[in-house]
Amino acid sequence: MGVVGIWKGRGMAKPRITVVVAKDDKGEPAEVYFYFNPEGRDLLVSELAHLSEKSDHFHMNPAEWEAEVPLQMRAYVPAEETPVSHVKLMFRTDEWDEKYFPHVMAE
């Protein structure tokens, strides 16, 4: 059924999440913005809360892919933003990073 179908089945608005890269005044990538409605926020928070050492990542992909977290592909400000179509959020403990990527632990 997919995430969107589940929300519709509960009589709720579908989650709407848009991730974009905003451009600076020179047209270069500058910041990443996350836009979401209340249902999108709830879905994102739920997925983040479930991350653990045993379930260490989730994907955000275009809605038609029926991903864990569906993304909308319409920029809020098309002339200034580029929609992001694929996002992978990964949970990493300090112990894991110290073992596999110690350089990220440097202060």
Q: Which tens digits make up the pLDDT trace of 57-71?
A: 999 999 888 878 999
Reply yes or no on whether the pLDDT at 75 is more than 60: yes
pTM of the model: 0.80
Q: Which residue has the tokens 């073992």?
A: 99
* Helix (H), strand (E) at residue 71: strand 69-71
Q: Are 76 and 20 in contact (CB under 8 A)?
A: yes
- Its domain, for residue 52, covers 2-105
93 vs 64, residue with greater confidence: 93
Among 56, 64, 53, 55, which residue's Cα sits nearest to residue 86? 64
CA–CA dist 21, 100 (Å, integer)? 29
**Bridge partner residues of 81 (DSSP):** 22
Tokens (6 digits) for 14: 């579908």
The DSSP letter of residue 14 is: P
CA–CA dist 21, 33 (Å, integer)? 6
Q: What is the total count of domains within the chain?
A: 1
